[in-house]
Amino acid sequence: MAENHSKIIIIGSGPAGFTAALYNARANLKPVIFEGMQPGGQLTITTEVENYPGFENGIQGPELMDVMRKQAHRFGAESVYKEITEVDFSKRPFILKSNDEEYTADAVIVATGASAKLLGLESEQKYMGYGVSACATCDGFFFKNQKVLVVGGGDTAMEEATYLTNHASEVTIIHRREGLRASTIMQDRAKKNPKIKFYLNKVINEVVGVEENGVKKMTGVIVEDTRDHSKEEVKADGLFIGIGHKPNTDIFKGQLEMDDVGYLKVKPESTYTNIEGVFACGDVIDSKYRQAVTAAGTGCMASLDAERWLEAQE
Ligand SMILES: Cc1cc2nc3c(=O)[nH]c(=O)nc-3n(C[C@H](O)[C@H](O)[C@H](O)COP(=O)(O)OP(=O)(O)OC[C@H]3O[C@@H](n4cnc5c(N)ncnc54)[C@H](O)[C@@H]3O)c2cc1C
């Protein structure tokens, strides 16, 4: 990276960041991608991806991201395996810091994603992609006629559970309290669904499973009753974590406009943020669809918006 200045810096290396990088690289803008703490983004924690167009037989998440990175690098995009810890968008060129190191850019594309909140259990990590998932739209299909659990009591959990009834034979919502946080309409929809059961006042202590011929598979969870602390094993083929998402936007607070949850706001039908020259794409602007292909789509939009904006500056 010459003298730490770039025409375009892309923060984030998921499908949105790599697509933006691919387009900007092919336009000879030599974009620099800061890959952050999760190089390749969220798809690196899953196994089979069957709904990304172009892969008839599906592809493993980490492999898909590796291909996207190589495709962007082929045209001159450069990856820096660091996290941006601070930004100053008050003047141009924009200043971005990775701890003590400073970088400047004429335009910035924010593609930092929104991480699914997890329970924080070691066993949850162990079986992630092997029964445990944080995305029903993505993985529900793998649980045809099987028994699955959804943990959470908010809208995300109700929505995931309702969606999963299209595939699974039985869906049990596990929640730590008696009352649900979800909106009445979402609760009612879930409660009326004959395939959905509720298991309340329970917390998940552990995900359990087996390993056969080197292949892991979850078989259930150990739950603890929050009132009398009794424990039991609940058998299931899958566990969906439905406790919400956190957009990765802490470093932009006070500079980029965001909603109550922290999703960045962009001008309608564009990727323009409230700061001219700073664009945003992918899950960080999208609380609704959250798919690799939609992230790639808005990544393309951000690269074209940035390219045209830079051209107009010259
Ligand atoms: C378990 C699981 C399975 C999924 N399966 C599918 C599927 O089958 N099909 C599908 O379409 N979608 C799936 N999804 C959803 C999909 O992964 C996301 O919609 C997509 O990855 C969003 O892309 P993104 O580029 O916006 O962000 P992300 O993929 O979240 O990437 C964000 C990037 O930003 C970086 N970053 C964050 N903060 C900083 C910082 N301060 N400095 C530098 N870098 C930073 C991170 O390191 C990361 O590289 C799944 C998600 C999960 C969790």
Q: Is 4 left (phi over 0), alpha (psi -120 to 50) or beta?
A: left
Q: 3 pLDDT exceeds 90?
A: no
d(CA 314, CA 308): 10
Respond yes or no on whether the N-terminal peptide bond of residue 15 is cis (omega within 30° of 0).
Answer: no
Please tell me which residue in 138, 283, 286, 305 is annotated as part of the active site. 138
How many angstroms is it from 290 CA to the middle of ligand 1? Answer: 9
Would you place residue 279 in the very low, low, confident or very high pLDDT band (cuts 50, 70, 90)?
Answer: very high
Please tell me which residue in 135, 155, 225, 300 is annotated as part of the active site. 135
Residue 135 is among the residues annotated as catalytic for this protein = yes
CB 1 within 8 A of CB 102: no
Among the listed residues 263, 297, 273, 253, the one whose alpha carbon sits nearest the alpha carbon of residue 114: 263
d(CA 278, CA 105): 10
Best of 135, 243, 287 for a ligand 1 pocket test (most atoms within 8 Å of beta carbon)? 135
How many angstroms is it from 282 CA to the middle of ligand 1? Answer: 8
How many angstroms is it from 240 CA to the middle of ligand 1? Answer: 17
d(CA 12, CA 56): 27
Q: 249 pLDDT exceeds 90?
A: yes
What's the average model confidence in pLDDT over 53-59?
Answer: 96
- The pTM for the full model equals 0.89
Would you place residue 313 in the very low, low, confident or very high pLDDT band (cuts 50, 70, 90)?
Answer: very high
Residue 281 is among the residues annotated as catalytic for this protein = no
d(CA 266, CA 74): 30
**Closest ligand 1 atom number to CA of residue 37:** 47
Q: Which domains does the chain have, with CATH numbers?
A: 2-115+245-313 (3.50.50.60), 118-241 (3.50.50.60)
CB 257 within 8 A of CB 280: no
Distance of CA 254 to CAs 21, 258, 259, Å?
26, 9, 12
pLDDT recorded at residue 213: 86
- For 211-218, the CB contacts below 8 A with 24+ separation are 215/130, 216/126, 216/127, 216/130, 216/131, 217/127, 217/130, 217/131, 218/127, 218/130, 218/131, 218/132
**Closest ligand 1 atom number to CA of residue 13:** 49
Q: Which residues contact 233 (CB under 8 A, 6 or more apart)?
A: 208, 220, 221, 222, 223
211-236 pLDDT, tens per residue?
988 889 999 999 999 999 999 999 99
Please tell me which residue in 66, 106, 139, 283 is annotated as part of the active site. 139
How many angstroms is it from 284 CA to the middle of ligand 1? Answer: 9
Residue with CA at minimum distance from ligand 1 atom 35:
12
Average pLDDT, the chain: 96
The binding-site residues of ligand 1, defined as CB within 6 angstroms of any ligand atom, are 11-17, 34-39, 41-43, 45-46, 49, 51-52, 83-84, 111-113, 116, 133-135, 138, 248, 251, 282-284, 290-293, 295
Q: 75 pLDDT exceeds 90?
A: yes
Would you place residue 1 in the very low, low, confident or very high pLDDT band (cuts 50, 70, 90)?
Answer: low
Q: 155 pLDDT exceeds 60?
A: yes
d(CA 54, CA 292): 13
Q: 2 pLDDT exceeds 70?
A: no
What's the average model confidence in pLDDT over 177-188?
Answer: 94
How many angstroms is it from 190 CA to the middle of ligand 1? Answer: 28
Residue with CA at minimum distance from ligand 1 atom 15:
291
**Closest ligand 1 atom number to CA of residue 40:** 49
pLDDT recorded at residue 314: 83
- Angle CA(60)–CA(74)–CA(105) in degrees, nearest 5? 105
SS (H, E, C) the chain: CHHHEEEEEEECCCHHHHHHHHHHHHCCCCCEEECCCCCCHHHHHCCEECCCCCCCCCEEHHHHHHHHHHHHHHCCCEEECCCCCEEECCCCCEEEEECCEEEEEEEEEECCCEEECCCCCHHHHHCECCCEECCHHHHHHHHCCCEEEEECCCHHHHHHHHHHCCCCCEEEEEECCCCCCCCHHHHHHHHHCCCEEEEECEEEEEEEEEEECCEEEEEEEEEEECCCCCEEEEECCEEEECCCEEECCHHHCCCCCECCCCCECCCCCCCECCCCCEEECHHHHCCCCCCHHHHHHHHHHHHHHHHHHHHHHC
**Closest ligand 1 atom number to CA of residue 34:** 43
Residue 300 is among the residues annotated as catalytic for this protein = no
pLDDT recorded at residue 46: 82
